[in-house]
Amino acid sequence: QVSNDAWDLAFTAFGFQDAGIFINESSGSSMGQNLPLTELYYALTDDFNAVIDLEAIKDQKYLNSEVSWNFGAFNEVRDTLNPFDFGWGEYQPSTNRVIGDKVYVLKLRNGEFRKIKIENLTGTTYTIRHAKLDGSNEITKTLNKLTDNFGQKLIFYNFSTNSSVDILP
């Protein structure tokens, strides 16, 4: 058994042409009260080093799609008329990569805010960059669709351990 809060983000690992990224919206409860959720906000910038005003982005909250397993919360700002737009980044045919062009803010269950940018998806490897809002504790992490997914269709990522998590039996 794995706790429903064992992961924070999930990256699609269906094949070579998917780039969906989900937040963990599950909510446990304690004594009948819902526990805090993971929340995702668009930071209204593409500059990872920019100062982020939480008050300015409070209306930019995104949730996972309830329509498709191909697109999660990070994909919700995409232009659905542009097949190269994945929301968090855009596919560049000349380099065969999805290049990240947006910064997001995650509010984790423990109340901590982290800024995150999906730098790119090159072949089967996602590269993500995240830090505290003040820029401290910056981490760059790669997650590979073939080696970090434990044979599953999603790569589950935990910010506390800064690693992928094996969720399904």
Give the mean model confidence (pLDDT) for residues 31-59: 89
Give pLDDT tens digits for 100-127.
999 999 999 889 999 999 999 999 999 9
For residue 167, what pLDDT is reported?
85
What pLDDT is attached to residue 5? 83
pLDDT in tens, 90-104: 999 999 999 999 999
Judge whether 123 and 168 are in contact, CB under 8 Å: no
pLDDT of residue 4: 78
* Residue with token string 């906000």: 41
Burial of 61 (0-12, 13-18, 19+ CB in 10 A): middle
Please state, for a pLDDT cut of 90, what percent of the chain lies above it: 78
